[in-house]
């Protein structure tokens, strides 16, 4: 195989995936689910105060999750609320890519003076063709900008499980999401204030074996059952983030 084919094949695959995501995204065959704001307060007001600020995409705004208390953001806040009175502030915007988050969400999020920052971004970059090198550079910028703040970051799961995508597009989505997840991991290992929730775990096989239980009515976003599952990974990093908070 010559170098030209090595270069162009991933580009062709990414272009095909972008086209399929756009096609199913605008199809009237599926319900349109609105974004939600998971912000709120949690725990005993007499407990020590903890301000948690969240940035990201629709994984944060939880379209189709009912009740909203079952979204992973609130479930994670409840874990912190065992020992703290948590003020949770979300700046998440559905459809955001990492560049959108950096340009529109991060500054107001940092202005909220977070004790802990939660970041869930990269899914739209994987599905909508952000070049991997650019994504990794932007994630490095995120890491540098948030230095000194205990920061939990979400990985990217296997998007080959998304029921709404045609079969051939799922295989491309699987490769793209894995590459994006690895890019996040490469940044995390360089920056000790970043703690990554595990997005690649045997428990997520359920997204493939029982998708209509775990995906919302649009067959694209996760339903409450799906959020409860990924919340387990976020809950696993809560003790580390709390320990980091106590030393800052």
In percent, how much of the chain has pLDDT > 90?
85
Examine residue 109 and state whether it is found in any structural domain, yes or no. Answer: yes
Q: Which helix (H) or strand (E) holds 117?
A: strand 116-120
| Mean pLDDT score of the chain | 91
Separation of first and last alpha carbons in the chain: 52
Q: Which helix (H) or strand (E) holds 224?
A: helix 224-247
Lowest mean pLDDT among 32-36, 116-120, 229-233: 32-36
Predicted pLDDT at 31:
79
Q: Cβ(164)–Cβ(219) under 8 Å?
A: yes
Number of domains in the chain: 1
Tell me the β-bridge partners of 42.
86
Report residue 102 as tokens.
Answer: 């950096």
Domain that holds residue 119: 3-24+35-247
Predicted pLDDT at 56:
99
Examine residue 89 and state whether it is found in any structural domain, yes or no. Answer: yes
Average pLDDT over residues 127-135: 95
**d(C-alpha 160, C-alpha 200), whole Å:** 12
Predicted pLDDT at 29:
64
**d(C-alpha 74, C-alpha 52), whole Å:** 11
CATH number, residue 58: 3.40.50.1110
Report residue 242 as tokens.
Answer: 């709390």
**d(C-alpha 75, C-alpha 120), whole Å:** 15
The string of pLDDT tens digits covering residues 155-166 is 999 999 999 999
Whether omega for the bond prior to residue 67 falls within 30 degrees of 0, making it cis, is yes
Examine residue 30 and state whether it is found in any structural domain, yes or no. Answer: no
Q: Cβ(167)–Cβ(132) under 8 Å?
A: no
**d(C-alpha 200, C-alpha 179), whole Å:** 12
Examine residue 81 and state whether it is found in any structural domain, yes or no. Answer: yes
Examine residue 106 and state whether it is found in any structural domain, yes or no. Answer: yes
pTM of the predicted structure, to 2 decimals: 0.89
Q: pLDDT band for 28, please (50, 70, 90 cuts).
A: low
CB atoms within 10 A of CB 113: 10
Examine residue 84 and state whether it is found in any structural domain, yes or no. Answer: yes
Predicted pLDDT at 61:
98
């Amino acid at each position: 195989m010559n170098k030209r084919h090595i270069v162009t094949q991933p580009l062709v695959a990414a272009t095909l995936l972008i086209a399929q995501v756009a096609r199913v995204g605008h199809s009237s065959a599926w319900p349109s689910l609105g974004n939600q704001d998971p912000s709120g307060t949690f725990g005993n007001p007499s407990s020590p105060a903890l301000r948690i600020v969240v940035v990201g995409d629709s994984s944060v705004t939880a379209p189709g999750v009912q009740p909203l208390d079952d979204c992973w953001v609130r479930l994670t806040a409840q874990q912190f609320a065992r020992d703290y009175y948590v003020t949770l502030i979300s700046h998440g915007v559905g459809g955001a890519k990492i560049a959108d988050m950096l340009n529109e969400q991060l500054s107001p999020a940092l202005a909220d003076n977070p004790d802990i920052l939660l970041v869930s971004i990269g899914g739209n970059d994987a599905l909508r063709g952000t070049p991997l090198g650019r994504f990794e550079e932007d994630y490095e910028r995120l890491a540098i900008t948030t230095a000194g703040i205990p920061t939990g970051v979400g990985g990217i799961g296997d998007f080959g499980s998304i029921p709404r995508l045609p079969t051939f597009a799922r295989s491309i989505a699987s490769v793209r999401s894995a590459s994006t997840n690895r890019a996040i991991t490469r940044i995390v290992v360089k920056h000790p204030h970043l703690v990554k929730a595990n997005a690649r775990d045997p428990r997520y096989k359920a997204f493939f074996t029982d998708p209509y239980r775990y995906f919302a009515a649009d067959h694209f976003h996760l339903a409450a059952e799906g959020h409860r599952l990924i919340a387990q990974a976020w809950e696993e990093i809560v003790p580390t983030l709390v320990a980091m908070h106590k030393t800052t």
